[in-house]
Amino acid sequence: MSELKNDRFLRALLREPVDVTPVWMMRQAGRYLPEYRASRGQAGDFMSLCMNPELACEVTLQPLRRYPLDAAILFSDILTIPDAMGLGLYFETGEGPRFRKPVQDAAAVEALEVVDPHADLPYVVDAVKTIRRELNGSVPLIGFSGSPWTLATYMVEGGSSKDFRRAKTMAFNEPEVMHMLLTKLADSVIAYLNAQIEAGAQAVQIFDTWGGALSGRAYQEFSLSYMQKIVNGLIREREGRRVPVILFTKNGGQWLEAMADTGCDALGLDWTTNIAQARQRVGAKVALQGNMDPTMLYASPKRIRQEVETILSEFGTGEGHVFNLGHGITPEVSPENAGVFIEAVHEFSAQYHRG
């Protein structure tokens, strides 16, 4: 494996000195880029794009050709694990993901097998190897997975949901069934992320998109405890370097201290949490990643630059900040505005890193 030419993303996650604040964007390989739309058209549909390692590599690299980003993220989907469990994932236009066989009772949960990533998701492992080779040490590669709770919500609801009525009813009425499901998912995520790390991922992020829909007690029981299990089960050193783990619970800003106690290396923040207050709360325990409102990218270049300056000044001097959006970039954003954002982070952050 070639030496990393730009490791500031990995260094920042470990709160080590960097020259400028590193930046990447959630969903940076996505529909806002015309070249991505062309590749998706070539693949035929979204899942065909995910399942073709060469095309997944191509779309992973597209934003890096345009922008001076400090990390690449594997192009895939959080629902690959439930799909590999045989639930029949498909995408309804305008409706998002759907499952033909939702998991709604104990018998359905008992029938599920823990995923073997090499047997069940070889296209993801192959994509990681291909991307890592093509990156040739330019920037680090991030692997990822959905959190067990987030995956469970899609599996029990049969797709997206506004109120998570079925998933929460299972959790509250039949907690033993939900815990059986979450245990199988956590074991699957551990195997899946470790396979990505062995294939070349140099950091991993757990996306807990729907943890913030739970009450504090329920979050601890049904989401955080399983992310803790995953953190405990991951390969944390590879190729002579630490493999940092980022936890991101959307709308989870009220639980940062408990999240930091898992032993992860960094916490992702959405835009509803003030980064200065978050830094005061978690101190030097973890790095922070975030957290500009993605819709700020619809504003003028001048306003985008102001927002970047503000967030950098709120974090202040010292190490341990990876700049990102507070959630994924949205499809209608102009690629030029994304470029303004990325360049502003590097331009304005140097002053905060003079040793």
Q: Is 113 left (phi over 0), alpha (psi -120 to 50) or beta?
A: beta
**31 annotated binding-site participant:** yes
Catalytic residue chosen out of the listed positions 8, 11, 15, 27:
27
163 noted as active-site residue:
no
Q: Summarize pLDDT for 335-349 with one digit per residue, the tens.
A: 999 999 999 999 999
The one-letter amino acid code at 144 reads F
What percent of the chain lies above the pLDDT cut of 70?
99
Which residue(s) pair with 321 in the sheet? Answer: 288
Q: Summarize pLDDT for 105-164 with one digit per residue, the tens.
A: 999 999 999 999 999 999 999 999 999 999 999 999 999 999 999 999 999 999 999 999
- Asked if residue 232 has pLDDT above 80, the reply is yes
Q: Where are the domains of the chain?
A: 33-283
Cβ(228)–Cβ(269) under 8 Å?
no
Which residue(s) pair with 143 in the sheet? Answer: 204
**346 annotated binding-site participant:** no
Cβ burial of 223 (10 Å; 0-12, 13-18, 19+) is buried
Catalytic residue chosen out of the listed positions 7, 70, 77, 208:
77
133 noted as active-site residue:
no
Q: Is the dihedral of CA 320, 323, 326, 328 positive or negative?
A: negative
**263 annotated binding-site participant:** no
154 noted as active-site residue:
yes
For residues 280 and 269, what is the distance between their CA atoms, to the nearest angstrom?
14
Closest by alpha carbon to 323, among 9, 41, 46, 60? 9
Please report the pLDDT score of residue 330 as a whole number: 96
Q: Summarize pLDDT for 27-46 with one digit per residue, the tens.
A: 999 999 999 999 999 999 99
The one-letter amino acid code at 304 reads I
Closest by alpha carbon to 25, among 212, 347, 289? 289
Please report the pLDDT score of residue 2 as a whole number: 59
Cβ(95)–Cβ(158) under 8 Å?
no
- Total residue count of the chain as it appears in this document: 355
**30 annotated binding-site participant:** yes
Answer whether the bond into residue 291 is a cis peptide, omega within 30°.
yes
Q: Does domain 33-283 have CATH number 3.20.20.210?
A: yes
Q: Summarize pLDDT for 193-228 with one digit per residue, the tens.
A: 999 999 999 999 999 999 999 999 999 999 999 999
Give me the half-sphere count of Cα atoms (radius 13 Å) on the Cβ side of residue 249. 27
For residues 334 and 257, what is the distance between their CA atoms, to the nearest angstrom?
36
The one-letter amino acid code at 75 reads F
Rounded to two decimals, the pTM is 0.97
**218 annotated binding-site participant:** no
For residues 108 and 113, what is the distance between their CA atoms, to the nearest angstrom?
11
Catalytic residue chosen out of the listed positions 40, 66, 238, 281:
40
Closest by alpha carbon to 128, among 193, 84, 190? 193
What percent of the chain lies above the pLDDT cut of 90?
96
Pairing of strands 241-242, 237-238: antiparallel
77 noted as active-site residue:
yes
40 noted as active-site residue:
yes
Closest by alpha carbon to 348, among 314, 324, 313, 302? 313
